[in-house]
Amino acid sequence: MPARKIVCIGAGSFYFPRAIADLVICRDLEGSEIVLYDIDGEKARRMAGMGQRLRAASGLDFKVRATTSLADAVDGADFALSSIGGSGAEITQNVYGSRYHNADVAIPARYGIHQVVGDTCGPAGMMMGFRSIPAYLKICREMEKRCPKVMLFNHSNPMAALCRAMHKYSSINVVGVCHGVQGGIMYAGEILGIAPQELDCVWIGTNHYYWFTRVAHFGKDMYPELRKRMARRKPPKGCVMSAALSAIYGFHIVYPADDHIIEFYPFSSQAGDFDSLPYGLGDEVRLWGRSTKVKSPAAARSPSGTVRRRFFKQYQKVLDEVQPIEKMDDSVTGEGIAGTISAIATGRRRVCIVNVANNGAIPNLPPMAEVEIEGVTDSCGVRGVQMGECPLVLKGLLEKRFVWHELVADAAVKGDRNLALQALLTDENAIAPDKASRMLDELLRASRPLLPGFFK
């Protein structure tokens, strides 16, 4: 088949070791070029070195190279993978450890909102979106000029808000990829004692929050048995709240991680402090290293040579430990990115799990809503699969989120403070308007270097 150009954007991210390892063992894509682009060229160069090592181990013919030019990276690209953390060129292993995200969490904590992860909803999720959306749209503009038919797979959070912004404000074909549903299917399989590949599941929801509406095994309805076993077993630490909610609603939460589920409820603003978060989530907070002390993001903009050398020593160690894989990811137990790309490249039908605009896949939700559903590939990309209607109680939760996605996307693009304030007041963890206004000003100032649109 013809060689393809696959560009990895934000290539310094630790998402890419697994993605690249998956790509370079895909025979359907042999002969393709994998281009690694990052605003920190040293990260891209080192990631490319890892990719070249994995390619050599595969024995297949791939070209792997790094570039610091966005135009060069995307020019003529067929596919793109992105993982942009929204912390600029800060020297950190991931966005969650950045000074920017520290401010996203620490400032709201002083106003009574105690977020655990803060990458999907809430003030922290909003701020991650504000910093990332302009960067993504800049990339999309370059793609519109240089590779208008490219297919962009986004792996960044807040997934739904980012995808909504790109769908609304660019013409690029964008699909979000995550692994929450896959983790939930494996969790259900573990409870039932059935291999996850043998389960036929249907779910409804948006990124990081979805419920099973059907679980079957070779035509047999396994949902009653799943509910029965869930009721009998003690939920593992970190999944206590999702188990309680599943029992109340009568629908099993697919992705059972409480640190993400809490983002869809007002409990973070009902706790007096991090340690008072329900269901033992105070322990999760300590793992994330949260505090109410804001470290100046500006201090991270120009790291010293010593800081960079220390960082890259550890960074290289992580890359050196990445081993070749023998089997490509599937789309049930993994994200299956190489399989999805190769299916599109060859015009092959393949079912995958994707974040896309609803467009009728869930008939009683808005067509523009960003949902995480099954999709089927063809030579033109991915089309959503019919998932059935959304249960009423989940519909009420989700429709508010879809409005929030829209407000975050619009506020980020327009640099509109009032829309940002509306997003804060639409969120489940809303606080009184005067407090929300003061908090917003603090949050915007803390991210000012990456938010020129709000400070014209």
Q: Sheet with 209-217: list strands edge to edge.
A: 199-206, 209-217, 220-221
Residue 374: beta bridge partners?
353
Amino acid making up residue 307:
V
Give pLDDT tens digits along the chain (456 positions): 668 999 999 999 999 999 999 999 999 999 999 999 999 999 999 999 999 999 999 999 999 999 999 999 999 999 999 999 877 767 777 788 888 999 999 999 999 999 999 999 999 999 999 999 999 999 999 999 999 999 999 999 999 999 999 999 999 999 999 999 999 999 999 999 999 999 999 999 999 999 999 999 999 999 999 999 999 999 999 999 999 999 999 999 999 999 999 999 999 999 989 989 999 998 888 777 776 677 666 544 566 788 889 999 999 999 999 999 999 998 888 899 999 999 999 999 999 999 999 999 999 999 999 999 999 999 999 999 999 999 999 999 999 999 999 999 999 999 999 999 999 999 999 999 999 999 999 999 999 999 989 998
Q: Sheet with 370-378: list strands edge to edge.
A: 63-67, 33-37, 5-9, 79-82, 151-154, 173-176, 351-357, 370-378, 381-384
CA 333 – CA 307 distance, rounded (Å) = 37
Contact criterion met (CB below 8 Å) for 361 and 387: yes
Q: Which two tokens stand for residue 168?
A: 């609304």
Tally of CA atoms within 13 A in the half-sphere of 290 that contains its CB: 27
Neighbours of 31 (CB within 10 A): 12
| DSSP letters for 127-141 | HHHHHHHHHHHHHHH
CA 117 – CA 97 distance, rounded (Å) = 11
> Which residue in 10, 14, 61, 54 sits closest to 36, CA to CA?
10
> Which residue in 434, 435, 433, 372 sits closest to 398, CA to CA?
372
CA 83 to chain centre: 8
In eight-state DSSP terms, residue 253 is B
State the burial class of residue 130 (Cβ atoms within 10 Å of its Cβ: 0-12, 13-18, 19+): buried
Task: Report the length, in residues, of the chain.
Answer: 456
Q: Which two tokens stand for residue 206?
A: 């948006």
Global pTM? 0.95
